[in-house]
Amino acid sequence: MKPKSRVQLEGRLAGKGSLSKSGPDANTITLIMLSGGADSTAALVKLLSEGEEHVHAHHIYLKNQSARALPELQATYDIVDYCKRHYRPFDFTLSTIDVSFMRNIPPDIFHTNYIAAMMVITDSRIKKLTRCVIVEDEADTTYDNRKNAARKLFQTLVPEGRRPEYIYPVREMTKADILTYLPLDLLKITWSCRTPIVGKTGFMRCGECHTCEQVRDSLVARKMDQGWLSEEVAVGAHS
Ligand SMILES: [Zn+2]
């Protein structure tokens, strides 16, 4: 079978997933930007299993020059489905940003903070905003300029009196902690690879990018199964 094009794979996901708006009974909402990766998934699980607040998860279908958007969207749909079945109900919405025409890939955090800011200024019920930083993120100063610029962008867009409280459910956890914390069947449906390879019916993790290395090293350190990292993930198969 010939590899499917990204357009064909995108068509298989069109209209899938369970979108909903925040319920009218929710007076206060905790917002989490769900990327489809392990860190934001662990943060979502913590919110759902350890708290009782009304949670609204939002995913940006972020199309850029890499092939990440589709496996991240597939992962997000599967994560939302899993978490609704295993934990408790929450709201999930999706937006699309297509910057695939740009010569280089702009930082994800700019998109994330822009959409989060738009959501906050249009819904006064959003009182808490979840930051999904882990120990390694806090220790890494490589992208401090980028992070500061993203913070200023958010603060410029959201007036001081409207800014939500930041919460950090996974700040004390390392990547290895995250991978151990998530149930294995949930961990396997997360997507962290930055440069996926298009396969016959879906995508494969490249095994070489920074996040692939980080996940593999953490699995090895905890003596956990890593065979699943090289399996192809069929798009449209689970949703
Ligand atoms: Zn990779």
Q: What are phi and psi of 63, to 5 degrees?
A: -90, 115
pLDDT in tens, 184-197: 999 999 999 999 99
Q: Is the pTM of this model over 0.85?
A: yes
Q: What are phi and psi of 197, to 5 degrees?
A: -105, 130
CA–CA dist 13, 70 (Å, integer): 8
* pLDDT of 18 above 50: no
Please report the domains of the chain, with CATH numbers, ordered by start residue: 19-174 (3.40.50.620)
CA of 199 to the centre of ligand 1 (A): 14
pLDDT in tens, 92-119: 999 999 999 999 989 999 999 999 999 9
Distance between Cα 40 and ligand 1 center (Å): 18
Ramachandran region, residue 207 (left: φ > 0; alpha: ψ -120 to 50; beta: rest): left
Using the mean position of ligand 1's atoms as its centre, give its distance from the Cα of residue 15 in Å.
27
Q: What is the pLDDT of residue 24?
A: 54
Q: State the distance from the centre of ligand 1 to the C-alpha of 65, rounded, in angstroms.
A: 14
Q: What's the 69 CA to ligand 1 centre distance in angstroms?
A: 13
